[in-house]
């Protein structure tokens, strides 16, 4: 009986939260978008005031400031952006000079170039490519490298 009550309570709570999140509201959004994405692994993404993108994933942390944004066409909810940011990647594996599977950190600066599509009210999907310059702090071989990060995700605006 106790488990049945807990299951029912969880179901009702989930239904109320789902209904509240999809309900039409008369208030203006507060300027925060939250969602899930793939960037530095799989993780949580957020956007603040349409200017700052933050991603925290299982492989790292990325923070980008959007310098320029625009719309492709006024009648299509597809926008573009260009930014500048940084990444700390902490889950790299290195097996160069050692039999141990050592890990190292990489620190990058990047320039994200992306698009965002608002497919229903308060929801958008985005994708970006970000050329970067990384400093790889390997145990036996520290170096700089150029690369390209790719990211995509979905967000809900509050």
Check residue 142 and give its pLDDT: 82
Check residue 141 and give its pLDDT: 74
Check residue 38 and give its pLDDT: 97
Tell me the pLDDT of the chain (158 aa) as tens digits: 444 434 444 444 344 344 444 444 455 568 999 999 999 999 999 999 999 999 999 999 999 999 999 999 888 899 999 999 999 998 776 655 555 667 789 999 999 999 999 999 999 999 999 999 999 887 777 889 999 999 999 999 99
User: Cβ contacts of residue 118 below 8 Å, gap of 6+?
Assistant: 77, 79, 124
* Tokens (6 digits) for 126: 């985005």
For the chain, list the domains and their CATH numbers.
Answer: 30-157 (2.40.160)
Check residue 97 and give its pLDDT: 52
* Tokens (6 digits) for 96: 């160069």
Residues 68 and 70: their CA atoms lie apart, in Å, by 7
Q: What is the pTM of this model?
A: 0.76
At residue 10, φ and ψ (nearest 5 deg) are -65, -40
User: Cβ contacts of residue 107 below 8 Å, gap of 6+?
Assistant: 86, 87, 88, 89, 134, 135, 137
Check residue 100 and give its pLDDT: 60
Q: Across the chain, where does the E strand assignment appear?
A: 32-39, 41-48, 52-57, 60-73, 76-94, 102-110, 113-120, 123-137, 142-157
Check residue 28 and give its pLDDT: 55
Give the burial class of 150: count Cβ atoms within 10 A of its Cβ; 0-12 exposed, 13-18 middle, 19 or more buried: exposed
């Amino acid at each position: 009986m106790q488990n049945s009550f807990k299951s029912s309570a969880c179901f009702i709570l989930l239904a109320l939260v789902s209904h509240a999140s999809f309900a039409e509201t008369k208030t203006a959004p507060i300027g925060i978008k939250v969602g899930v994405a793939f960037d530095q692994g799989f993780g949580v993404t957020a956007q603040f005031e349409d200017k700052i993108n933050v991603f925290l994933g299982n492989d790292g942390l990325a923070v980008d400031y959007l310098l320029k944004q625009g719309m492709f066409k006024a009648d299509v909810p597809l926008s573009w952006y260009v930014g500048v940011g940084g990444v700390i990647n902490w889950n790299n594996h290195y097996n160069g000079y050692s039999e141990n599977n050592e890990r190292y950190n990489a620190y990058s600066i990047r320039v994200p170039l992306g698009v965002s599509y608002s497919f229903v009210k308060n929801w958008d999907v985005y994708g970006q490519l970000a050329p970067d310059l990384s400093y790889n702090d390997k145990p036996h071989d520290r170096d700089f490298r150029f690369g390209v990060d790719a990211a995509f995700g979905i967000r809900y605006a509050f």
